[in-house]
Amino acid sequence: MGTSTSKPESQPSTYDEKSQLTNQNQLPVAVTPVSKDGSISLNTVALWESAASADPKLQLARIILSHSDIRSALASRSAHVADSHVFSHVLDFKTGPITDQKSSGRCWLFAATNIVRYNIMKKLNLKELQLSQSYLFFWDKLNKSNYYLEVIMQQADLPVDDRLVTFLSGDLIGDGGQWDMVVNLVENYGLVPQALYPESTHSSLSGPLNALLKTKLREDALILRRLAASLRSSYVSEEQVLLTLRAKKEELMKDVYNILTATLGTPPDTNSKFVWDYINADDKVGRWEGTPIEFYRTFGTKPYSPTESFSIINDPRNPYSKLYTVDKLGNVWGGRPILYVNTQAENMKNMVVKMIKAGLPVFFGCDVGKFSDSSSGIMDTALFEYESAFDIKFGLTKADRLQIQESSMTHAMVISGVHLDEAGKPVRYKVENSWGESAGNHGYFVMTDAWFEQFVYQIVVPKALAPKELVQVLESDEKVVLPPWDPMGALA
């Protein structure tokens, strides 16, 4: 496959077509600062205040915004009017209930299980169904803990303050994740209905559990590093070093398992059968019996198996039509790697429309905190009148935001509808969130096409529905390895 060079993409009207950064680089060299030593002088402040005092718009802003939330005070009325929750193409079956991840970062697990439940509910004619997000959460935490200790053992010869070691020991077992991590979990542990493994305090409120596990695992990391140094100083063979370290790691991981079962509950045995009784939309009782793996194989692999779906991203920093991965990123040790095929945003939009028309919900990753309002459920680059109120211009491109850490994937949701114009182009998208029914329009958000262009980074597509050239890139296995701290390593 040929590769196209990354280019800055066109910006919506909210952004200046000519980057402010470029204009600043063209300033005359002869300009002299008021403060030559770089400090903020009182003379400089006096000049700023003189200009502000003479500006009626800024004076009005000072009156209003000193006692108002800038998001509500500067909300665009025209955007709220334009962004109606009306869509020309929606899925032919509505799932429920609207899920709620509560005080946790499990959005990717909620989005993934909301995707999988669609066909289960349709097949069994159910009014409501939740798959157990907590079940996958348990196995993800256990495996991320193991993954962290394995990587630490690999890097035991590096100084403890090396950038890689300190980065890995930062948010080492965060709640977030990626599609390939979902595949690792369901392939190894299957799925169960939420009734078989319900929510607990610490699945819905993950902060205290995460803090405890991080303290434990960081201490375990030092224990393993010191053991590695001791073994190597005694000239033990590398094979025996690894075996001894792994034996010690298993001893330490037993404590992690005990913490997880005490706080989240002991999950159903992967290889033991359970009984699931349910009532369908006609009030008829149904019954299913089998293991979590059998449940997944029976209900979770139609019409397309999660293993046959892959992540397509839009990262304009890097060449398109290439395969990317992120170093040291994963959950199940030895499992499926995190892979992304990079393409233009327009290609992603076309695939979303194709999937919705085919009756398939779409998993996607985005930066939900930018130009969005959770109460109204609107994601629109024109949502707030910041530029008008402060007389400023935002000039960052999508690539700029990634490079300067202004933006990254922070949240995963599901696209369940799209509104097309007369030319067949998307205008807005219907989004199923996992913040409960009180957010947005009874749990649903509307995302404009301009917002998609700027803040959507990933969609997940079955190979059978993806462009052949992108599938070929995926299957070529010629990966570009991004560093662990790259923005594409952010977990939704």
- Catalytic residue annotation: 107, 411, 433
CA Rg, the chain, in Å? 25
Q: Which residue carries 């669609």 as its tokens? A: 118
Please count the residues of the chain: 492
| Residues 486 and 344: beta-carbon distance below 8 Å | no
The end-to-end CA distance of the chain, in Å, is 29
Q: Which residue carries 């005070």 as its tokens? A: 73
* Close Cβ partners of 372 (under 8 Å, ≥ 6 residues apart): 378, 379, 380, 383, 445, 451
Q: How far is it, in rounded angstroms, from Cα 440 to Cα 41?
A: 46
For residue 439, the Cα-to-chain-centroid distance in whole angstroms is 19
Sign of the four-CA dihedral 320, 326, 330, 333: positive
Q: How far is it, in rounded angstroms, from Cα 440 to Cα 375?
A: 5
* Alpha-helix runs per DSSP H in 234-275: 238-264
Q: How far is it, in rounded angstroms, from Cα 21 to Cα 353?
A: 35
Q: How far is it, in rounded angstroms, from Cα 100 to Cα 94?
A: 17
| Residues 194 and 133: beta-carbon distance below 8 Å | yes
Number of helices (H), then strands (E), belonging to the chain: the values are: 18, 14
The values of phi and psi at residue 430, to 5°, are -90, 130
**DSSP one-letter string for 140-190:** HHHHHHHHHHHHHHHTTTS-TTSHHHHHHTSSTT-S---HHHHHHHHHHH-
| Residues 1 and 469: beta-carbon distance below 8 Å | yes
CA distances from 302 to 102, 179, 277 (A): 29, 17, 21
